[in-house]
């Protein structure tokens, strides 16, 4: 029988914050950042919460490495419209949180933001994208190197060594036979499979520490509830998205034709149709998702589920749920 391993988002929430399990997290970070990482401490983050109404759609962990750099790892299970804007805000917040008033700007540390995504973020052929800051000469096309002082000596640094670095792992786009440590990690993130003969940093340790059947009965029950919630939410959002697309296309075509006719030009018709479809799809998806969330919430309340559990499964606020039961 093939071993069953715990999902990485659950491991982040419950296991990898413990010092005894740092080797798994350090291996993961070493592979994705491309240099050896040693964790000094786990810092406070939204993902530290373990209440009953924790949001399962997003789990994060924030760590400081031996160089004083901050690393944020986030697992996002469901679609979010302004995802890049949110991780930008998270990085900016981390920078300001970890520098004290009166410190010099020398104390600003590099931030790594690693996002493990289980939804379609946008168009792109690869499963791994890295975003760094480079300053390129407009006329010379050379890369700017800046002067900075370290340990009493002036050295040259690339801005990419100072500015935040963003790593986006589009798990669902990975369709390769895993041969490298990076591919083995992404294969585990996608399917939960770890090779018996793996040599990937962190995965060797994960084979012992992330076994499903090594958990207690209560831990397995909590884990199964988490997986069930993820599956239900994905099903709800998938249905809502399909309904929203269909509704949005229909509304968009009608709106586009009306705009095109009003302009009285073939060009206007084509442009209006395109804009109308895009606008209608976006509005339809959002409306469909909201309707599906409300439908699920009403069904769960009718089955006698607690408000806290309905919040966890739907992402609705307590106030929104109370209105449904009025």
Instruction: Spell out a b/e string for 227-261, using b for 16 or more CB atoms within 10 Å of the CB, else e.
Output: eebbeebbebbebbbebbbebbbebbeebbeebbe
> What percent of the chain is predicted at pLDDT more than 90?
36
Instruction: Round to whole Å and give the CA distance between 37 and 27.
Output: 8
Distance of CA 123 to the CA centre of its chain: 16
203 in Cβ contact with 27 (< 8 Å)? yes
Q: Which residue has the higher pLDDT, 215 or 96?
A: 96
| Structure confidence at residue 267 (pLDDT) | 57
| Structure confidence at residue 11 (pLDDT) | 86
Residue 28: pLDDT band with limits 50, 70, 90: very high
298-309 pLDDT, tens digit per residue, is: 777 776 778 877
Instruction: Round to whole Å and give the CA distance between 284 and 164.
Output: 35
SS3 for 146?
strand
What are the residues facing 143 on neighbouring strands? 136
The mean pLDDT of the chain is 80
The average pLDDT across 161-188 equals 94
Torsion of CA 126, 128, 133, 138, to 10 degrees: -10
222-250 pLDDT, tens digit per residue, is: 777 777 776 666 565 555 555 555 665 56
- Read off the DSSP letter of residue 44: P
pTM: 0.70
Q: Which residue has the higher pLDDT, 269 or 324?
A: 324
Instruction: Spell out a b/e string for 274-289, using b for 16 or more CB atoms within 10 Å of the CB, else e.
Output: eebbeebbeebbebbb
| Structure confidence at residue 120 (pLDDT) | 86
Rounded to 10 deg, the angle between the 318-325 and 266-302 helix axes is 80
What are the residues facing 73 on neighbouring strands? 61, 114
Instruction: Round to whole Å and give the CA distance between 290 and 299.
Output: 14
Domain ranges in the chain?
A: 8-214, 218-325
The average pLDDT across 248-271 equals 58
Q: How far is CA 205 from CA 35, 168, 196, 209, in A?
A: 18, 24, 11, 6
Give the burial class of 20: count Cβ atoms within 10 A of its Cβ; 0-12 exposed, 13-18 middle, 19 or more buried: exposed
């Amino acid at each position: 029988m093939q071993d069953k391993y715990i999902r990485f988002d659950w491991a982040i929430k419950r296991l990898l914050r413990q010092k005894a399990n740092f080797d798994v997290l350090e291996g993961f970070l070493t592979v994705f950042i491309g240099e050896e990482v040693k964790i000094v401490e786990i810092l406070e983050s939204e993902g530290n919460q373990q209440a009953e109404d924790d949001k399962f759609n997003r789990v994060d962990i924030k760590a400081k490495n031996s160089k004083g750099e901050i690393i944020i790892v986030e697992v996002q299970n469901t679609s979010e419209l302004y995802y890049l804007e949110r991780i930008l805000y998270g990085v900016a917040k981390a920078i300001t949180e970890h520098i004290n008033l009166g410190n010099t700007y020398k104390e600003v540390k590099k931030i790594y933001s690693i996002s493990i995504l289980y939804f379609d973020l946008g168009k792109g052929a690869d499963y791994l994208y890295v975003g760094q800051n480079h300053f390129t000469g407009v006329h010379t096309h050379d890369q700017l190197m800046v002067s900075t002082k370290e340990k009493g000596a002036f050295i040259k640094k690339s801005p990419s060594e100072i500015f935040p670095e963003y790593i986006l792992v589009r798990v669902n786009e990975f369709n390769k036979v895993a041969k490298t440590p990076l591919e083995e990690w992404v294969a585990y993130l996608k399917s939960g499979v770890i090779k018996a003969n793996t040599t990937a940093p962190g995965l060797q340790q994960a084979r012992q520490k992330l076994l499903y059947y090594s958990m207690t009965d209560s831990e397995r029950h909590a884990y199964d509830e988490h997986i069930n919630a993820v599956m239900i939410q994905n099903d709800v959002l998938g249905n809502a998205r399909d309904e929203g697309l269909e509704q949005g296309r229909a509304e968009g075509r009608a709106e586009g034709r009306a705009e095109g006719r009003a302009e009285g030009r073939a060009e206007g018709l084509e442009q209006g149709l395109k804009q109308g479809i895009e606008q209608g799809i976006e509005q339809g998806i959002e409306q469909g998702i909201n309707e599906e969330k409300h439908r699920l919430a009403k069904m769960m309340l009718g089955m006698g589920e607690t408000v806290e559990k309905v919040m966890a499964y739907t992402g609705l606020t307590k106030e929104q749920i109370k209105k449904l039961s009025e």
